[in-house]
Amino acid sequence: MHSHGKPRVFVFYDVYRFPGIDGVLLHIQMEEILMLSPLPLTRFAAMAGSAIFVIICGGEVGAPAALAASPETVSTHAALPDMLTGLQGRIDAAATSETGSEALEALIADIEAFEPDGAETLAYYRQYWLACAYYRLSIERQRAGRIDDPEPPLQNAISLLKDITPRDGEAHALFALAAGLNLQFVPRWKIMIAIGDVNASLGQALTLTPDNVRALYANAVSDWNTPPEFGGRQRAETYLRQAVAIPAESPHPLAPTWGHDLAHVLLVEILLETERTQEAADLYDAALAKFPDSAEVAALKERF
């Protein structure tokens, strides 16, 4: 902790009223800026709009006691709402549980009940993970043989991802996967429009986030599922080799990191289908070591 010198000022974005901490702040992102002299916290609040500036000078925090102590120990991961914390793992656990669809439906109800209270970052991640849960629910219903049931959750996922703000690379990638899966339910007279929407989001995902595993995976899935006579199966392997080379991610604590295991799985399947058995086996072994808890990777065992 710095107890002397000029003030240290931290800006917390997406202020969120959190009733158990003196009614103050939930901080989602934090960065330090420098000031020459301290100003009242209320002055900063008025200047910042959706941001609050917290002055730390001489070891004293110009903010509610809950944020307290040393700037070195003020964590951007603290005080995140329980409902949104670890949602990726909870969706995975629900999808792979014995009750599959029912567990996902219960989790979806919990996410829908969560109110972000105007915090833009929380609203974004609530909408993203809700769409992701609906997408996974549609997949689990298909796996269970509920042929007519996957469409309603897919429609929910698609609607959420069309309206999400910001509609960034992550949102476009997940939209492309959900809307691509939904093509089987689209009437013939709408199919070209629907395919155009999928292709537009695939392009946007790569444009906005060219080195993103989920953007690459979504493009690979689309290309591999497109018949060669319609231009498919040309770029999937390239996308997937890019994806599997990307190291593990450490983004915002609420952000998605899924897709690494899925990229490995699809690449193994492509290698097997194109009779490159030894390379497929080597990649499977590597995936098993990297993702020991992945149900998708484990399911590849029967292919060898």
pLDDT tens digits, residue range 104-141? 999 999 999 999 887 888 999 999 999 999 999 999 99
pLDDT tens digits, residue range 213-246? 999 999 999 999 999 999 999 999 999 999 999 9
Question: Would you say 139 and 181 are in contact if contact means Cβ atoms under 8 Å apart?
Answer: yes
pLDDT tens digits, residue range 136-170? 999 999 888 876 666 799 999 999 999 999 999 99
The residues, any chain, with a CB within 8 Å of residue 302's CB and separated by 6 or more, are none
The answer to whether residue 138 sits within a structural domain is: no
Confidence of residue 251 (pLDDT cuts 50, 70, 90): low
Q: Rounded to whole angstroms, how far apart are CA atoms 277 and 117?
A: 53
Helices and strands: H and E segment counts in the chain = 12, 4
* b/e burial code for range 120-134 (CB count within 10 A of at least 16 → b): ebbbbbbbbbbbbbb
pLDDT value at position 249?
Answer: 83
pLDDT tens digits, residue range 262-274? 999 999 999 999 9
Q: Rounded to whole angstroms, how far apart are CA atoms 120 and 157?
A: 19
DSSP state of 36: S
Supply the pTM of this predicted model: 0.75
Closest CA to 295 of 254, 258, 249: 258
The answer to whether residue 26 sits within a structural domain is: yes
Confidence of residue 250 (pLDDT cuts 50, 70, 90): confident
CA atoms within 13 A on the CB side of 266: 27
Pick 20 or 223 by higher pLDDT.
223
DSSP 139-178: HHHHHTT-TTSSHHHHHHHHHHHHH-SS--HHHHHHHHHH
pLDDT value at position 79?
Answer: 56
Confidence of residue 23 (pLDDT cuts 50, 70, 90): very low
Show the domain range for 17: 8-73
Is the preceding peptide bond at 166 cis, omega within 30 degrees of 0? yes
pLDDT tens digits, residue range 168-213? 999 999 999 999 999 999 999 999 999 999 999 999 999 999 999 9
Query: Quick check: 63 pLDDT over 80?
Result: no
Domain count, the chain: 1
The answer to whether residue 192 sits within a structural domain is: no
The answer to whether residue 157 sits within a structural domain is: no
The answer to whether residue 34 sits within a structural domain is: yes
The answer to whether residue 62 sits within a structural domain is: yes
